[in-house]
Amino acid sequence: MKASNTKNLPKIFVLRWGHRPKRDLRLTTHVALTARALGASGFILSDIEDEKIKTTLEKVVKNWGGPFHFEMGTPWKKVVKEWKAKGGSVVHLTAYGENIETSDVLQRIKALNRDILVIVGSQKVPGEFFSENVSDFNVAIGNQPHSECASLAVFLDRFFEGKELAKNFMGAKLIIIPQRRGKKVIRKVNSESEIRKEI
């Protein structure tokens, strides 16, 4: 985990809090996949370990490319404390926060030019998440009930201004070739010679 104040585009890590293995496995996996696909550099499953999510992410990174940092089991308070100590900002996505469309909250986040830890809850979060001790910004993707996966997707897309949708993932073995109809995926058989076969 790294947080730095650099001139380069800030890195975003996603902290998933409150994961319940039997109930949230599919949605937490989707939150992690959304984070990776839409430009985040890493995903932290706090306070708990879930090997199924780890296995899925490792398989996706192996086949579809990376890099993408993943860790689990670290207490959320430790993650937040270390992140802030290294100069990073913490953004808590919540329907009760400043509306990303009707306020200037996104501009203020970007103006800091710091790496960002985005907190995404899976259940009702502790009240302290809203405090300055935890979050620097409480951001709402609309002030209506909706999925945390949707919130993360909109936030990342707004932050990266759509550029993340054209990102190339290093070391990808599978690559989708966009086309008007049908499905075309190529597999890199040999990364050195770039031999490709259509699947």
Residue ranges per domain, the chain? 12-167, 169-199
**The pTM is what?**
0.91
* Contact status, residue 34 vs residue 16, Cβ threshold 8 Å: no
CA distance 142 to 22: 29
CATH no., domain 12-167: 3.40.1280.10
CA distance 141 to 150: 8
Q: What is the pLDDT of residue 8?
A: 73
The pLDDT tens digits of the residues spanning 21-53 come to 999 999 999 999 999 999 999 999 999 999 999
